[in-house]
């Protein structure tokens, strides 16, 4: 399915789409497309893959500037976590859902080919996935621009604090997705949740250590 940036912006609002899904209504679909599966695997898989791309890119950038050995080890572990999630979702038939549409040309409005594994997405859902991908790309660019201004301990603290916030959001998503996942996908999410919870605990300890060091420097 190919969608343009203009089609995304003219699509039904996200709130309306979510309302349809929550009420059990089937969003508008293209001729021959399948309704969204009751398990909603085709909806959460793109969300996880797009979020994972953002984390891999941001942590890879952070590795070029981090000074703390603990923070460096965490960034490497985070990249590995999302690569593992990507591998596990691929085993279920889900690849990264967005790619430039064939024939897309520079300088023209962005057009994306959107897929989500074995079950086709509705037109509205595909538009939202493409928009989520564009937001992630913008996030990566903004992350590099903002954190690129920082150095040393200040960069390390900002990285760790941001990662703690990101992981709290990831935990929210995985806990919710598990309620709607298929029997095949639920174990993948359960394993991911354990890693996320471990990372949250690690990040809290790292924040406490960095805060303690700041207080020590004030004396």
Task: Report pTM.
Answer: 0.78
CA dist 45 and 12 (Å) reads: 21
pLDDT band (50, 70, 90) for residue 211: confident
pLDDT tens digits, 103-151:
767 777 778 889 878 888 888 999 999 999 999 999 999 999 999 999 9
- What average pLDDT does this structure show over 70-83? 96
CB neighbour class for 208 (10 Å; exposed up to 12, middle 13-18, buried from 19): exposed
Domains contained in the chain, CATH given:
2-21+35-218 (1.20.1260.10)
Q: What is the pLDDT of residue 117?
A: 83
Average pLDDT, the chain: 83
Query: Rounded to an integer, what distance in angstroms lies between the CA atom of residue 215 and that of residue 211?
Result: 6
């Amino acid at each position: 399915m190919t969608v343009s940036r203009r089609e995304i912006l003219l699509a039904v609002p996200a709130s309306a789409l979510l309302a349809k899904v929550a009420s059990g209504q089937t969003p508008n679909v293209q001729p021959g497309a399948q309704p969204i599966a009751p398990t909603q695997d085709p909806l959460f898989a793109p969300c996880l893959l797009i979020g994972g791309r953002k984390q891999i890119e941001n942590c890879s950038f952070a590795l070029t500037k981090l000074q703390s050995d603990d923070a460096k080890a965490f960034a490497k572990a985070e990249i590995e976590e999302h690569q593992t999630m990507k591998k596990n979702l691929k085993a279920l038939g889900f690849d990264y859902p967005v790619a430039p549409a064939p024939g897309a040309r520079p300088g023209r409005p962005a057009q994306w080919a959107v897929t989500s594994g074995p079950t086709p997405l509705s037109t509205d859902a595909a538009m939202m996935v493409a928009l989520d991908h564009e937001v992630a790309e913008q996030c990566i660019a903004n992350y590099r621009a903002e954190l690129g201004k920082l150095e040393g301990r200040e960069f390390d603290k900002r990285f760790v604090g941001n990662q703690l916030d990101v992981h709290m959001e990831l935990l929210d998503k995985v806990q919710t997705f598990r309620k709607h996942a298929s029997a095949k996908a639920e174990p993948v999410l359960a394993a991911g949740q354990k890693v996320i919870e471990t990372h949250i605990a690690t990040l809290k300890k790292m924040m406490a250590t960095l805060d303690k060091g700041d207080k020590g420097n004030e004396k």
